[in-house]
Amino acid sequence: MTYNASHIEVLEGLEGVRRRPGMYVGGTDLKALHHLVAEILDNATDEVVAGHANRIEVILGLEGSVSVWDNGRGIPVDSHPRYPEKSALEIILTKLHAGGKFHNQAYTTSGGLNGVGISVVNALSSKTEIVVERDGFCWRQSFSKGIPTTALIREEPTKKRGTRVTFLPDREIFPDVTFDMERILDMCRAKAYLNRGVRIHLTVAATGENHQFHYPGGVKDYLDQWLADKQFVIDKRFSGFVEQQADATNPLRLEWAMAWTHEEKGKLLSYCNTIPTLEGGTHETGVRAALLKGIRDYAEARNLLPKGITIIAEDVLDGLWAIVSLFIHEPEFAGQTKERLASVWVARQVEGAFKDHLDHWLHGDVEQATRLVSAIVDKAQERQNRRKDSNLVKRKTATTRLTLPGKLTDCSSPDTSQAELFIVEGDSAGGSAKQARNRHNQAILPLRGKILNVEQANLEKFEKNTEIQSLVTAIGTGCGNHFNLSALRYGRIVIMTDADVDGAHIASLLLTFFFRFMAPLIQNGHLYLAQPPLYRLTCGAESWYALDDAEKESMVTKIQKKKPKAKIDLSRFKGLGEMDPKQLRETTMDPASRRLLRVLVDDSDLTHDTFNRLMGKKPLERFLFIQEKAPFAEACLDI
C-alpha cells in the first residue's frame, strides 16, 4: 500500500480531543467522567484563589447534567484581539490552549495551566451552556460536542457577576455517565477546606439533597473531621501556614495539618493550587524530607536515640495522617490530569520553609514532642528488630538495646526482678500501653488477634505460629523441654486484655500456653493477670473506676449516700484501646493504683483436666461444662 499525503489527517478544532480523550482526561471510565466535573470546579476555585469569588454552587441535574456557578469576574465576552469575529468566551470554549491562566496579571496561581480544561469538557459533552453575568448584562451561548450551536446572546441587564457552566457528558464517549455522589461530595468538601472562607453549595436535583461546605479553619478542620474516630500518639496537631518568595517569579504559599495515630499505616493528601495530586510529587518530597530531618535532629538533640538505632522515613510516616496544600505560580504537572507535581524547585523550597516551622513546633512543647519522637524511635527499634534473627535476647544496660522480637517495645532496666512485660491484644491497646508505661521497667508486647489454641494444635502449627514465637523470644526462657528459668528477662509477665468476653478468651488461650509450655513461670510466681476496670463513674470533678457490675453498684450507693442530689455519669470501656494513656496508667499499669492477680496452681491434676476439658478437641466436654454452669450464667454473662 502506498503511503502518501492523502493519509495525513488534519484534525480541526476539538476533534482531536474526541478522537483521543485519554490524552486529556485519562480515559473514558468513571474516573475520567468525574474529571470533567473537576476541571470546571477548578476554574471556579481559581476565581476564589485569585480573590474575586467567595461562593460556588454545584447542581447535579435530572438528566445527568452538571452545573457549576461562581460569583467571580465572569468569562470575558468582548471580541478577542486575534480573532475579532469571535468573543473571548467562544475562543476559550472551542480552542485548546486558550485561557487567562497564561497571563500573570489575570491569575497569580491557578489549577488550570494549559488552557485545555473547559474546552476539553465542551468537546466531550453532547451539550454545553455557558451563562456569564458581567459588564451589566447576562450573556449566554450553547455548544454541542465542541461546536457552537448558538451565537453569543446578550440578554437582560443585571448588576450581578459570575459564570455558570452546565454540561451533559456525551454518551458516545463515556459508556457510563452516572455520577458518584460520594466523589462529588469529596470534591466540594476538599475545595472548601483548601480555600478557607469559601462557601460551596451542592444540590442534587433528583433527590432534593442540599449540602453546604464552609470551613474557616482550612485544612486543620479537614484533618479534625477526617480523623474523628482515630486515636493519637499526642494530643497536639501540627498545622501551619507559610508564604514566601522563592525568587522574583515564584511565590510560594504552603498550608498543612498533620497528626500521628497508633495505626500502622497513614495517608498523606497533597494538593497544588487546589488540584489533588494523587501521585504526589516534589511538594510531597520536600515535606517528607523535612519531617525526617526534623525528627532526627530532635531525637539527637534530646538524646532519645538508643545506640544502633536509625530513624528512616518509614518510621516517621507510619501512622501519619497529613494534608498539604501548596499554591505556586505556573506549576509543572506530569500529564494533563495533573496527578503528580513535577516542578523541580519546589522540593527544596518546601523543605526549607516547612522544616523551620517543624523545628519551632517540636521545641515549643518539649513534653508532647518527646512523646511523639519516642514513639517514632520505638517504631525504628521494632523495624530493626524484625529484620534480625535471634532466639534469645538479653538486656545488658539501660543504654544497650539488642535484637528484640516482633513488635516488642522493651524497657531499659537491667534488673530482671524489677522488669515487667505486659502482653496486650492488638496495636490500638499496644499504642496506649506504650504511652502509659514506665519506660524504665515496663515493656509492651502487642499480639495480633487471638493466639493459637495450643491444646488443639499440632507441633508444626505451634512452631510456625508467629505470635507464639514472638512471645517465647521476648520472655527469653525458651519453652517446653528447652525451658530455662535462669534466662528469664522479666520478673513479672502480665496478661493485660480487655475486660470483656473476647478479652477473657484471649487470656484463657495465653494461660493454656503458659500452663502447657512454661509451667515453671507459674510455679515460681512470675505470671499475672491485669484487672482493668469495666466502668468509670464521674461525679463533678471526681472519677472512680469499677472492676465489674458488683463494684459499680457498690460505688453508686456510696456516692449517693455522700451526695444524694449529685448526678453520676456512667461510662463503660469497650476495651483498653478506648482508654487514654493517663487512664490506662492509673487503673492498670501504675503499681501504686493497679490491681493484679497472680496466677497460681493449687491442684496440678485438676488444672490439667480443666484445660483439657475446656480447651481440648472434644466439643462435648465444653457443652457439658456449660450445662453444669448454666445456673450461674445469669450473673456472669457480659452481653
Distance, CA of 501 to CA of 16 (rounded, Å): 65
Within 10 A of 150 (CB to CB), how many other CB atoms are there? 11
**Residue 500 among the catalytic residues:** yes
Give yes or no for a contact between 210 and 199, defined as CB atoms under 8 angstroms apart. no
**Residue 603 among the catalytic residues:** no
Residue 220: in which H helix or E strand, if any?
helix 219-226
Q: Do β-strands 251-260 and 238-245 pair in parallel, antiparallel, or remain unpaired? A: antiparallel
Distance, CA of 582 to CA of 584 (rounded, Å): 6
Distance, CA of 318 to CA of 11 (rounded, Å): 50
**Residue 498 among the catalytic residues:** yes
> In 81-119, which positions are buried (b, 16+ CB within 10 angstroms) versus exposed (e)?
eeeeebbbbbbbbbbbebbbbeeeeebebbbbbbbbbbb
Q: Which three cell numbers stand for residue 368?
A: 508532647
Residue 476 is classified by DSSP as -
Residue 588 is classified by DSSP as I
Distance, CA of 400 to CA of 37 (rounded, Å): 58
Candidate list 170, 425, 427, 467, residue with the active-site label = 425
**Residue 425 among the catalytic residues:** yes
Contacts of 288 (CB under 8 A, 6+ apart): 268, 313, 316, 317
Candidate list 356, 502, 548, 586, residue with the active-site label = 502
Distance, CA of 254 to CA of 260 (rounded, Å): 20
Q: Alpha-carbon torsion 487, 492, 497, 500, what sign?
A: positive
Within 10 A of 194 (CB to CB), how many other CB atoms are there? 25
Distance, CA of 582 to CA of 305 (rounded, Å): 24
The full DSSP string for 90-125 is: HHHHHSTT-SGGG-TTT-SS-S--SS-HHHHHHHTE
Q: What phi, psi does 209 have (nearest 5°)?
A: -65, 145
Q: Do β-strands 66-70 and 55-60 pair in parallel, antiparallel, or remain unpaired? A: antiparallel
Cα dist. 559→7, 116, 315, 554, 593 in Å? 93, 71, 47, 9, 20
Spatial CA neighbour of 341 closest among 406, 412, 282: 282
Burial of 462 from C-beta contacts in 10 A (0-12 / 13-18 / 19+): middle
Candidate list 57, 315, 467, 498, residue with the active-site label = 498
Candidate list 500, 548, 551, 578, residue with the active-site label = 500
Active site residues: 425, 498, 500, 502
